[in-house]
Amino acid sequence: MQNRHLQDYLDEFTFRFNRRKFRSRGKLFYRLAQKAVAAAPTTYREIVDSAQMSEPH
């Protein structure tokens, strides 16, 4: 695992851990899917450029 992705993995683990006893997990996924479909697509270039801008030089 590369260090530049470590925070993303930790954020994902924290998200899942905090919701492990959530009673309406299916509804949570449904709402997330709704938001994902409604959001404008992000290009790979936008992701890479924003990641490079946040890295310390």
Q: pLDDT tens for residues 14-54?
A: 888 887 777 776 687 788 888 888 988 889 999 888 877 77
pLDDT at 9 over 70: yes
CA distances from 44 to 13, 17, 35 (A): 23, 28, 19
* Dihedral over Cα of 7, 1, 42, 16: its sign: negative
Domain boundaries, the chain: 23-57
- Encoded tokens for 55: 């890295």
pTM above threshold 0.75: no
Please report where in the chains the tokens 């490079």 appear, as a residue: 52
